[in-house]
């Protein structure tokens, strides 16, 4: 069975495994206060051009998201996100479990717009009963989105302007950050995100690491005591050097970017095969996630050899997701392309 159902179905890139094995006899202080976390943070800061950025390493995406959001908000404040946003649709109410309401709006190709943020901000500003409703204080987006789409630099700058106008934080979930940066036609860099976002993540779990996420905080107000939030939220790893070592291995020679570009290239091969066959796309994605509409017969023909993710029924059939990763090989995509051609 060849898996195209997600981008975390392999252990880790060989360079990461080799780095862990080579340092297996090492002994370090705990909880991320080690030299590997320091070296990894320094490598990431080089790409940010933000020597003032605070960088923390947490064990997983859900912990990172709800920890950052809970730390940023007062008890009466809420989060704005698209209906398809990961924190709303895929985290079992983790943010709500911390006591914060999520204000959802219909996404446009999975994305929030500055106009939507301004609309909610203005509604609260003009409300005569502010004490009876939650105050929208943080805007959550993901890069790329759940539909594999990416924000343009102009869209991000407009979101930043809206957040500034209404006193909100901008949080970018980068669990698939590497694939978003490698998007075909994309022009957004880590430096752009460090300039525009108050807090964002650089995902490892889905981008070549065994596990772990790097959280970058640029807003001064969010930096104090953040390690206490991590610990209280269950996101702090005692053997923290295992996280630092992985991110150092991924970033020291640009490996993070090259393996994610390769994943997008494999996805484009799948996209071309479906297009050549005339299979309709649910959405146009330039990243490692491709969404197509298959008939029941086409699904049945492919599911015996491949694992892919059913999303939702449509008038034309079933919308399914094919997802590549850093580990997807050309042989795997060639096999899929041949079987698509035979549908």
Which of 251, 266, 281 is where one domain is finished? 251
Please write the tens of the pLDDT for every residue from 5-33. Answer: 999 999 999 999 999 999 999 999 999 99
Is residue 211 domain-shared with residue 277, that is, in the same domain? no
Q: Which of the four pLDDT bands, split at 50, 70 and 90, describes residue 316?
A: confident
Please identify, among 217, 234, 251, the residue that sits at the C-terminal boundary of a domain. Answer: 251
Is 319 inside a domain boundary?
A: yes
Q: What is the CA radius of gyration of the chain?
A: 20
User: Between the CA of residue 273 and those of 264, 269, 277, what are the distances in Å?
Assistant: 14, 6, 6
Count of domains observed in the chain: 2
Instruction: Determine if residue 36 is left, alpha or beta; phi over 0 gives left, psi from -120 to 50 gives alpha, anything else beta.
Output: alpha
Domain-located, residue 62: yes
| One domain for residues 261 and 222 | no
Q: How confident is the model at residue 315 (pLDDT cuts 50, 70, 90)?
A: confident
Same domain, 270 and 318: yes
Q: Same domain, yes or no, for 142 and 63? A: yes
**Same domain flag for 288 and 167:** no
Residue 198 covered by a domain = yes
27 found inside a domain = yes
Helix axes 255-277, 330-341, angle to 10 degrees: 10
183 and 46 assigned to the same domain = yes
With respect to residue 289, please indicate whether it lies within any of the assigned structural domains. Answer: yes
Structural domain range at position 265: 256-341
DSSP secondary structure code for residue 326 in this structure: T
The DSSP line for 122-155 is HHHHH-TTGGGSPEEEEEEEESS-TTS----HHH
Helices (H) and strands (E) in the chain, counts: 14, 12
C-alpha span between 197 and 227 (Å, rounded)? 20
Query: 280: which DSSP letter?
Result: P
Indicate whether 9 belongs to any domain: no
pTM of the model: 0.96
- Point out the domain boundary residue: 215, 232, 251: 251
188 and 326 belong to one structural domain: no
- CATH number of the domain where residue 273 is located: 3.90.1150.10
> Which of 61, 53, 99 is closest to 79 using CA atoms?
99
6 found inside a domain: no
Average of per-residue pLDDT across 291-308: 96
User: Nearest-CA neighbor of 147 among 308, 284, 8, 4?
Assistant: 284
Q: State pLDDT tens for residues 199-255.
A: 999 999 999 999 999 999 999 999 999 999 999 999 999 999 999 999 999 999 999
The CATH number for 181's domain is 3.40.640.10
In a domain, 158, yes or no: yes
Distance (Å, rounded) from C-alpha 177 to C-alpha 44? 13
């Amino acid at each position: 069975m060849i898996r195209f159902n997600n981008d975390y179905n392999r252990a880790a890139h060989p360079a990461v495994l080799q780095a862990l094995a080579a340092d297996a006899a090492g002994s370090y202080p705990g909880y991320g206060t080690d030299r590997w976390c320091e070296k990894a943070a320094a490598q990431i800061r080089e790409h940010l051009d933000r020597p003032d950025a605070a960088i923390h390493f947490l064990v997983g995406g859900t912990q990172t998201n709800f920890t950052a959001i809970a730390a940023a908000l007062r008890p009466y404040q809420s989060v704005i996100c698209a209906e398809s946003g990961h924190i709303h649709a895929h985290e079992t109410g983790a943010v709500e479990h911390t006591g914060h309401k999520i204000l959802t709006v219909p996404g446009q190709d999975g994305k929030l717009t500055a106009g939507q943020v301004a609309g909610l901000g203005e509604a609260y500003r003009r409300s005569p009963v502010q004490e009876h409703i939650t105050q929208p204080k943080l805007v959550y987006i993901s890069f790329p989105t759940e539909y594999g789409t990416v924000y343009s630099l102009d869209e991000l700058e407009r979101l930043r302007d809206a957040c500034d106008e209404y006193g909100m934080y901008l949080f970018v979930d980068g669990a698939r950050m590497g694939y978003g940066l490698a998007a075909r036609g994309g022009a957004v860099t880590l430096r752009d995100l460090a300039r525009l976002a108050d807090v964002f993540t650089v995902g490892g779990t889905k981008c070549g690491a065994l596990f772990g996420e790097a959280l970058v905080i640029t807003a001064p107000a969010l930096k104090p005591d953040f390690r206490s939030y991590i610990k209280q939220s269950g996101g702090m790893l005692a053997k923290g050097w295992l996280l630092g070592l992985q991110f150092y291995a991924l970033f020291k020679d640009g490996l993070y970017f090259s393996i994610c570009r390769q994943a997008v290239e494999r996805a484009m091969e799948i996209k071309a095969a479906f297009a050549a066959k005339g299979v309709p796309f649910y959405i146009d994605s330039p990243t490692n996630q491709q969404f197509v509409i298959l008939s029941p017969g086409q699904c049945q023909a492919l599911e015996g050899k491949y694992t892919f993710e059913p999303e939702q029924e449509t008038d034309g059939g079933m919308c399914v997701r094919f997802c590549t990763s850093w580990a997807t090989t050309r042989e795997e995509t060639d096999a899929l392309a041949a079987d698509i051609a035979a549908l």
